[in-house]
Amino acid sequence: MAIFKGAGVAIVTPMKENGDVNFEKLGEILEEQIAAGTDAVIICGTTGESSTLSHEEHMEAIRYTIDKVNKRIPVVAGTGSNCTETAIMMSQEAERMGADGLLLVSPYYNKATQKGLIAHYTAIANSVKLPIILYNIAGRTGINIEPKTLLYLAENVENIVAVKEASGNISQIADIAAMCKGKLDIYSGNDDQITPIMALGGIGVISVLSNIAPKYTHDLAMSYLEGDVQKSCEMQLKALPLVRALFCEVNPIPVKAAMNLMGKEVGPLRMPLTEMEEAHKETLKKAMIDFGLELA
C-alpha cells in the first residue's frame, strides 16, 4: 500500500537569523500545509538543507515534525547518507520516533556501482520495518539508480516500496514503470513533470512547489488521480514559469526566498548556500505575481 498519494511537501527547514533551526516557525508552516490539504510531509530532504544540519538538529527536526503532525498525514523522514552505517542509525532513530516512512537518497560522492547501491539499500531496509522511498537524483549525487536495480530491489526487499524520480529522464521513468509493473510506486521528484510522470503510472509528487502553493499542487496531482487529466495538464502548464523560477538557482535558495517574500519568515540559508541574486529574485517575484501568489 502506498505511503501516500498526491502531493507531499519537501518542506524547508526554517532558520533564525543566528542560523539556529526555528522550530516554532516549522510548527507554523506544518499547520499551514495540513490546512491546505498537503498529502504528506517529507522532512530533512534536500529542500530541508539536511546536508548542513548537525545529526542532533536533523533528528530533532524529524522528531518535532512527527509530534506536531501527530498522524494527521504521513511523515516521511529523510535519513539517507553516503555512509551506510549512518543511514542505518538515522533510519532506526526515525522509526523509533514514529515516522511513517523513510526517504533514502542515493549515496553521494562515493559513486557506488549498481551492486553497491543494492547492498547499501538492502542493508538499510533490513534494519527497519518502515516503508522506504528511494531517491534518485544523479544531478546531486553523481550516480543514477538504474531501472534494473530498482526492479531487483522492489522484488527482493519487501519494505522498499517506492522511488522519488528526479532524474528528469522521462524515458528512464517509462522503463521503470514498464519493468516494475506496479511493484514500485513512482513519485515525481520534479515539479515540472508531475502530470507526465503520473501519465506513466506515478501516484504523486514530492514537491518543492508545495511550500508556496500547497493546495494548488495537491489539486494538480489529485485531479489526475481522480480522472480529470485535462485539468491536471492545464494546471501543470500554468505552473511551469513559477517552477522554472523556483529552480533558477540551486534548491532551496529560491523557495526560501519565495517564502520570505510571502512573509512566512523562514529565515536565511546555511552556507555554502547563499542568498538569491537580485536579478533572479526579480524574476521570481514576477513569476509569483503572475501565478497569483500574494507577496508581503
Mean pLDDT of 87-92: 98
- Percentage above 90 pLDDT, the chain: 99
Q: Is 224 a catalytic residue?
A: no
C-alpha cell at 1: 500500500
Task: Determine whether 152 is an active site residue.
Answer: no
pTM value is 0.97
∠ CA 182-36-184, nearest 5°, is: 10
Q: How far apart are CA 199 and CA 71, in angstroms?
A: 30
Buried b (16+ CB within 10 A) or exposed e, 188-218: bbbbbbbbbbbbbbbbbbbbbbbbbbbebbb
Report the SS3 class of residue 136: strand
pLDDT > 90? residue 1: no
CB 243 within 8 A of CB 192: yes
Catalytic residue among 25, 152, 164, 264: 164
Q: pLDDT digits over 105-135, tens only?
A: 999 999 999 999 999 999 999 999 999 999 9
Residue pLDDT, tens place only, 189-216: 999 999 999 999 999 999 999 999 999 9
Q: Which residues are annotated as a binding site for pyruvate?
A: 47, 206
pLDDT single digits (tens) 261-279:
999 999 999 999 999 999 9
Catalytic residue among 64, 121, 135, 216: 135
**Contact residues for 233 (Cβ-Cβ < 8 A; gap 6+):** 195
Distances in whole angstroms, Cα of residue 279 to Cα of each of 109, 190, 246, 249: 32, 24, 13, 11
> Residues comprising the binding site?
47, 206
